[in-house]
Structure 1
Amino acid sequence: MLAAVLGLTGYAVLIDDGNDPTPQYGGAMSTPSPVAPTTTASPQPAPMYSVPPTWTEPRRWLAVSRGARKAANGREIGFPDTADGAIGMMAAASLMDVEGSDTLTNQHLAVYRTYMLPSEQSPTAEAKVRQGAEETDAGTRRALGLPSRGPLPSGAFMRATMIGIKTIQVSPALVTAYVLTVVTDKGGEMVPEQRVYTVGLLGAVWQDGDWKLSGQAVKAGTTQSDQGPAIAAPGDAAFNTAGWTAIRQAS
């Protein structure tokens, strides 16, 4: 069975202008689809994708920048004023690791409060992030056969990691890019691990000495590219053909 997709490419980047209640997504929650996806601002899963048995070395690697310090919630902040710094922030915002008594809701809200551009934050937007995270958490638990609430059992987890990048726009104060994320979940010690790959579009702006996620930047990025790169994991020859750059964390 296809794993329930967390779709945690950053998080739901929401713009609330006080008039239009419809969120604009740059890394929203996704659910599996039986048809081959097209890449949009919202991450799309690859239901039929599987990694080839033979390894093809990625042509391009990027050791993403780390944050110089941490916020009170433990998330990295203080990224360099470079394009690599923007990508480092995207990777940090995309990282999810839910185990034990932690929840997707806690992690999504931490990402929202830490990385969302302050001018695009609002009570309405935060409520939408909370609602989306709670719905995704409930759907994932059902798919894994876990209790609807309470701590995850031993060996169970929900994780998301950014593993690829393909930039669209790069300027001193704006970076937009397609991001490739692997979403992994496990229902317990003896339960097989399930893995799904998603592609989404993220935008970052430089403001007040750090990079922040921006829904407006995502909208700008969508005007620059009609169709995103195909989903393929590092080690797949198609990863190079699609123009991805593999991500690894700098020490």
Structure 2
Amino acid sequence: MTLDLQHAAQRRMRRTVLVLVAVVLFLVAALVVIATRDGGSDNNGKGSPSAVSSPSPTPTLPEDDGGYVAPAQYVKLPDGAEKVGDLPIKFPRTPEGATAMLVASARNAWAFDAAKVKAGILAYASADYRDSMAASAEDGAIGNREFAGVPSTGELPAGATLNAWPIGVQWSEADSGTVDALVLLRVTSAPKEGAEPKITIVVSPAQAVWEAGDWKVMPTSPATNLPDPVDVGTAKFNADGWKAIQEGDRL
């Protein structure tokens, strides 16, 4: 990614810092790393993602040989014991449980609907930050619209989509009530029907704290020295220590 791309991404992400940190998108308060690759998308998600317009994006990752490399590590994250609406909560008090909450929050946060963004904040944000972040849910939804290249207000164009699929995780247990994690997401977006989807790989740092009988998201300071964004199925995914998330019969 060129320096101009990095600066443009940072400017856009600052607009939604409160919301996106709260719901573990981490696109702002953390230094977000976005991979851009040339060419169309394939089944491994190796497409042509770009968070901002650029006539000639510079790849941030070395080219691979195009062959699929199976993940060296898998993890089946635990389910929440309860739900609020369709959002799982009440995860076990383990590092895997904390990571599962962060993954659920990250997946929910990529939405055009401000009500959905707000629901994620209310379900997952730490109590000390929940109300102030919930008040900015509309800004978060606008940021998501801009990310996908759709108008910031009004009806969505037919066929506009924005979906995040968490594909990998890393975590470390600071203590029995605090877990630091990285969530690797493959974000697919399209501004309208017929547009070629963009695939963006995002590395999202996060922290979970044990609070009132469940894991909650704690806002984190901007991170440095994040690993490169890399898709599952590549040698670098394994070299960087990612655990592939296994859900049902697919990663």
User: CA 1:29–1:183 in structure 2 vs 1: closer, same or farther (change >3 Å)?
Assistant: same
> 1:132–1:156: structure 2 CA closer, same or farther, 3 Å change rule?
closer
User: Given the alignment of the two structures, is residue 45 of structure 1 paired with residue 57 of structure 2, yes or no?
Assistant: no
- Residue 51 of structure 2 corresponds to which residue in structure 1? none
Root mean square deviation, CA, Å: 3.4
Does the 8 Å CA contact 1:29/1:136 hold for their aligned counterparts? Answer: no
Q: C-alpha distance in 1, partners of 2:140/2:165?
A: 19
Specify the alignment match of 1:21 in structure 2. none
Residue identity in the other structure for 1:214: M
- Say which is worse superposed, 181-190 or 237-246, in terms of deviation: 181-190
The 1:83/1:163 distance shift into structure 2, 3 A limit, reads: same
**Does the Cα contact within 8 Å between 1:26 and 1:42 map onto a contact in 2?**
no
- TM-score scaled by structure 2? 0.72
**Cα contact 1:178–1:200 (8 A) shared by 2:** yes
The amino acid of 2:71's aligned partner reads P
Which residue number corresponds to residue 100 of structure 2?
88
Segments of structure 2 that go 5 or more residues without pairing to the other structure are: 40-45, 47-63
Tell me if the contact between 1:29 and 1:132 (Cα under 8 Å) persists in the aligned partners. Answer: no
Q: Which residue of structure 2 lines up, in the alignment, with residue 208 of structure 1? A: 212
- Asked if the contact 2:33–2:229 (Cα under 8 Å) also holds between the matched residues in 1, the reply is no
Q: Is the Cα contact below 8 Å between 2:19 and 2:140 reproduced in 1?
A: no
1:67-216 → structure 2 map (5 Å cutoff) = 67-71=80-84, 73-96=85-108, 103-123=112-132, 125-137=133-145, 139-140=146-147, 143=149, 148-153=153-158, 155-215=159-219
CA distance in 2: counterparts of 1:78 and 1:118, whole angstroms: 15
Q: CA deviation at 1:211?
A: 0.7
Distance 2:139 2:204 in 1: 20
Classify 1:81/1:147 alpha carbon distance in 2 versus 1 (closer, same or farther; 3 Å).
Answer: closer
Question: Relative to 1, partners in 2 of residues 1:173 and 1:190: Cα closer, same or farther, differing over 3 Å?
Answer: same
Residues 77-102 of structure 1: per-residue CA shift (max 9 Å, x gap): 1111111111111111011487xxx8
Q: 1:49 to 1:58 in 2, by over 3 A?
A: farther
8 A Cα contact 1:64 1:250, kept in partner: no
Equivalent-residue separation in structure 1 for 2:74 and 2:164 (angstroms):
19
Distance in 1, matches of 2:164 and 2:19, equals: 11
Instruction: Quote the offset at 1:69 in angstroms.
Output: 1.6
SS of the counterpart of 1:179? strand
Q: Identity over aligned residues, as a percent? A: 24
Shift of 1:65: 1.1
1:66 aligns to what?
A: 79
Structure 1 residue 189: Cα displacement:
4.3
Instruction: Give the conservation status (yes or no) of the 8 Å contact 2:95–2:171.
Output: no
CA separation of 1:26 and 1:238: change in aligned 2, threshold 3 A: same
Is the 1:105–1:130 Cα contact (8 Å) retained in structure 2?
yes
3-state SS, counterpart of residue 122 of structure 1: helix
For 2:233 and 2:69, locate their aligned partners in 1 and report how far apart those are by CA, in whole Å. 5
